[in-house]
Each structure stands twice: as structure tokens, then as C-alpha cells.
Structure 1
Amino acid sequence: MPLPPIIYEDDALLVLDKPAGLPVVVEPGAKQTPTLLDQVREQYGATATNVHRPDAESSGLAVFAKTKPALDFLSGQFQAKTAGQSWHAFVIVRPTGEGAEFWPRDEAQRVPPEFAMDWWIGQDGDRPGAMQAFRRNGGQSARTVFKVEENFGGHALLRCRPESNRRHQLRVHLAAAGLPVLNDALYGLADAPLRLSQIKRGYKGGADEKPMIRQLALHASGLTLNHPLTRAAVAFESPLPVEFEIALKNLRKFGRSQRHGRSRSSN
């Protein structure tokens, strides 16, 4: 199987644009299945190791070190929180009062242009492989900063900047904020797809109408770090998936938009 598109490659570093649905490694609680790491090692050898990885269901930048020194240097940056990450998430804006534990809302009950979540994240004792948010003193500390790029009332596109590296951090924080990621079967709303017939007046899609976005609507779009050989700062970007762009185009045309900014050029 061919590798996903290569964003960057040299003797120490490999950055791929991972499609949704392909696990980087076998995740806790998941069945044994071929992984992106298997593909990378088949081509580059057993020393290649993942450093930064999106969840299997999400898409975007996946980083691999080709050598042990490169792995140590790159992993150290994530542990020290000096590597900068940027993600994009399409979220469902739940109406106030539906029971989420934390609501980032302004006086008009709208999602504010920017907000942060500092809730701790730990294992969900009732669901193997799942995590949960704690207001304080549960699991490990976690922080994510969110910026609303476009707001369409019932849906919004957010830029997410995690300042820690906890499992499922963005998905858990957003769910706790009443803003679950679209198509998140684990933490989000069951059977709540985004279809054109929901936003285009007079359009009837029929029983076979497909959602505009079928993947988990979470994309690893940007990463900055110091190169393991040169020590210079480098930045990598992955464009939004085509499904995201199609949904945005239709929401801008037919949806109720309250935009807080449109630029997605700098991560």
C-alpha cells in the first residue's frame, strides 16, 4: 500500500498527510489492524518511529523520526511542550441547557471568539479506551486554547491549540464545553450528521443523501518544531480535507454565518 502524501522528508524526519480512518499505531482497546507505522517501517526500516500522530479517525499531519537521535530530540520537544500544534475542528454548537458541564458562551449565549479549557483528563472507568474530563484533580492536567474561525449558528469551525498532549484531549475538552466534534461517535452526539438538506431551503436530499463530512471532523493542520539535525525552527501545514471545504462553501452560502475571522494561513 502506498504511503499517504509526503509533506516533508529528509534523513532524519518524515511528515505525512494522514487520511482519516488509518491508525498510526494500534490504539488502546482497538483490534489489531495494519497501521501507518507498519507502512513507514516497511519502506524506511524498523528504526522509524512515530512522534506526533492524529487519532485513527482524524486526519492530518503525522510525524515520524527515522533515527533514534532524531526520535529523542523530537519527543523531547513534545514532552517539554515547546512543539506547537494547530488543529481544525468542525463542531456542533449545542443549545444552552442541554447539560454540558462547562459552557464557553458570551452574554448572548454565543460561543466567544476565543476561549480556553483547563479541565484535567483521565480514564473513563465505564468505557474502556475512552477518556473523560475532570473539573480538577482527576487524571492529568490539560489545557487547550480555542479560536472560532467561522460560526454558523448550529455548527462552527474552530482552530485548536493544545498546550499538553493527553489522549483524545481535543475531543474530550470540546465535548465538555458543549461543542462536540462532528461525527465523534465516542464523545459526541449520536446520529447527528451535517447534510445539505439541513441548511439549503427547499432542498430535499432523499433517503440516500450523504453527509457533507463523513470523517471525524478533526484535522491536524499545523505543526512547528526545531529540526533534529539543524536545530532550526520548521513549520509544516496540511490543508483542510476536501469534505471540510465543501461543507464550508455550502455553510457560507446557505447557513447563518457569524464569522470571527477567515485566515487559516498561519498555524
Structure 2
Amino acid sequence: MSKASEQEELLENGESSDELYERHAITCDPGQEPYRIDKFLVGRIEYATRNKVQKAIESGMVTVNGKNVQPNYKVKPGDEIIVYSDKEVKGEQIVPEFIPLDIQYEDDDVMIINKPAGLVVHPASGNPNGTLINGVAWYLKQKNKDISEETLPRYGMVHRIDKNTSGLMVLAKTDKAVTSLAKQFFDHTVFRRYIALVWGDPSEDEGTVNAHIGRHQRFRKLFDAYPEGDHGKEAITHYKVLERFGYVTLVECRLETGRTHQIRVHMQHIGHPLFNDDFYGGDRIVKGTVYSKYKQFVENCFAICPRHALHARNIGFKHPGTGEQVLFECELPQDMKELIEKWRNYVKFKGVPEE
């Protein structure tokens, strides 16, 4: 399967890397002759065109020695050039469609949306509608009737969360906001805190998982952790125990990087897959007793929360417009609230017997 095909498959299932921009770092050779930077980059970056490069420069996606430049800037020996580029495979044309949106905050620069579980974030080839972005397109068209379907923007998606993960996403509304947020995500300065229910009882109250994440060597729809770093990309997750229920544990996870399925893969890697995660072994009894009543209890829990128990609770960043640090938070969705309360009552009234 080609890289483009793999990415489109992920988009169709609402599963893709959090970070939708990548960074190209180029150092000019000691013998580099003066040359317009737009022409220079066209020759150094695969599939780049002069028009795209100029737009990237004008929107602040290109820096030289840490500063923005104009398209006519002449590169010179030793220049450190950084180019941020959109790595998303474009799907079909976005069709505005009424989809209820839980908009937590909005101004001229950004939108903060609380995405429900089960909603795909972005349309892709073969899956042109029914996504959060279709809903955003409809919402913005109501605010500005002059926007046509042909000129609808991509709404500044700088990250995404999985289809069956609930919680906060930030969308940029201007080119300046896209540039600012893309850089912040890449530099790992965006604060992202998730709440998860995982199988098992972690031995430590807090810890860090540092293991590369890449496609599974045999099963291409899955991802795997590679602690030696010989495959995949660097991924770091910090976790902290919030509440213990014996057979399952409520934890918070803070992302330092944003790889595909990062929390799900990392927690499975350390022996604590997310509760009811059908990709990574959490949709079966991992810890507990052999009694039929316990099995029925777990089945009832799966019915209450019929998806992996993961919620993006907080997101914080430097506001692209004001420059101030902002932090947003949303409460747990009802399915996770009920799931946690059910386990809390299980421990309270029945205790957790020794295995």
C-alpha cells in the first residue's frame, strides 16, 4: 500500500496523526551562491511548486535563521531554513452539511470544538460527508453567505483526534493562526491532557512512556511501539494515576508528541490497554476474576461505553492573535462518567478480590 493510500485509509476511518504539519530543515552549503529562496526551495523539496512556496513564505511557514523572509530573499552560505508543510492528503471537496457542533469557544482566530465520540474529523476520498469539518463548513456558511463551496477553506486543521475519542480540538480560522498553531504543535508546546480508563493497576503513580510509534510490521491498520527507536517516529506520553479500581485504573495522559493512536499504543505497550479498545486488545477481559457475574459486569460496562475510554479534556496554547497563553477544558462525556461510576460502585460494594 502506498503512503498516500495508507493516509487516505486513515482519514476515512477518522484515524490519523495528531500533527498534520511536518518540518523540513535545510542548511545552505558553504559554497551556496545568492539565489531567491522561492526558487531555491522548489529545487530542494519534492513536489514543491513556486506558487506553493511563495504562499508558504507569505503565510509565515518558512523561516531563515529563525526569522520570516520575503520570496525575493537571497539565500547565502550557512542559512538555516525551516519549512513547515501540510502533509495531509486532500480528500474530496468539502460539502457543507448541518451537523450539531459543541463549540466551546470562538473568536476571529480560532475555534475550540468538543468532538463527540463516533464522529470522523475530516472527509476523505469515498467519505465526503458526515464529518466534523462538513459541519464546520455549514456553520461558517451561515455566518458568511458569500462563501461558495468552491472557495471553502480547509479550516486550518492543525491536528485531529481519533473517530472514537471524544474531546477538545482547536481549528485555526486564519493563515496566521494556522502558522502559529502548526509551529506550536511541532515544537511540542501545545498542552494536551487526556483522561483514560485503562486495564490493570499500574505499579507507579506516574510515569513516562518513551517509545517510537510506527505501523505494525504485519498488520498495516495497527500501530506498534518500538522502544529501541529503530522504526517509527519518536513518541512520548506522560501518565498519572487519578483513581484505582483494582482491575482498571483512571489515568490522565499528557502528550508531548502527537503520533497516530499514541496513547492507545503506549498504554498497551506497558501492559495497560485502554478499556474497550478494539484495536489494541482492550475489548476483552484483561484483568479480573473467572466468575460469570464479573464477566457479565464487564459486558455491561462495554455496553455503557461502546468505544475506547479516552477523552481529550484539556488543550492549551499561545493564542495566535493575542499572544497570551490560553487553556480550555471540557467535562467527561456521559458514557465515560457512567462507566467510571459503575467501576467505583463495584469497588465500593463488592471490593476487588485477590486473583
2:30 corresponds to: none
* TM superposition score normalised by structure 1: 0.79
> What's the offset of the Cα at 1:128?
2.4
Q: Say whether 1:218 aligns with 2:310.
A: yes
SS in 1 for 2:279: coil
1:141 to 225, 234, 237: 234
Contiguous gaps of at least 5 residues in structure 1: 95-109, 259-267
1:112 corresponds to: 204
2:265 to 154, 172, 176: 172
* Paired amino acid for 1:40: V
> What's the offset of the Cα at 1:210?
6.4
Contact 2:240–2:253 under 8 Å retained in 1: yes
- Of structures 1 and 2, the larger Rg is shown by 2
> What's the offset of the Cα at 1:229?
0.4
> What's the offset of the Cα at 1:251?
2.1
Taking the aligned partners of 2:342 and 2:301, their CA distance within structure 1 comes to 15
Deviates more, 1:224-233 or 1:241-250: 241-250
2:342 to 232, 250, 255: 250
2:122 to 25, 39, 46: 25
- Counting only pairs closer than 5 Å after superposition, residues 180-195 of structure 1 correspond to structure 2 as 180-192=273-285
* TM superposition score normalised by structure 2: 0.61
Taking the aligned partners of 1:174 and 1:248, their CA distance within structure 2 comes to 18
* Paired amino acid for 2:218: D
Contact 2:177–2:320 under 8 Å retained in 1: yes
Deviations 1:197-231 (A, max 9, x none): x9988xx77x9896232222110000110111001
Q: Say whether 1:235 aligns with 2:327.
A: yes
> What's the offset of the Cα at 1:169?
0.6
Pair 1:210–1:128, CA change in 2 (3 A): closer
Pair 1:191–1:254, CA change in 2 (3 A): closer
Q: Say whether 1:39 aligns with 2:131.
A: no
Contact 1:47–1:68 under 8 Å retained in 2: no
1:93 corresponds to: 200
Contact 2:169–2:315 under 8 Å retained in 1: no
1:100 corresponds to: none
- Which of the pair has the greater relative contact order for Cα pairs under 8 Å at 6+ separation? 1
> What's the offset of the Cα at 1:247?
2.1
> What's the offset of the Cα at 1:40?
1.1
Q: Say whether 1:154 aligns with 2:247.
A: yes
Contiguous gaps of at least 5 residues in structure 2: 1-97, 141-151
Contact 1:199–1:251 under 8 Å retained in 2: no
Equivalent pairs, count: 236
- Counting only pairs closer than 5 Å after superposition, residues 74-89 of structure 1 correspond to structure 2 as 74-89=181-196
Q: How high is the sequence identity, in percent, across the aligned residues?
A: 31
Deviates more, 1:67-76 or 1:35-44: 35-44
CA RMSD of aligned residues (A): 2.9
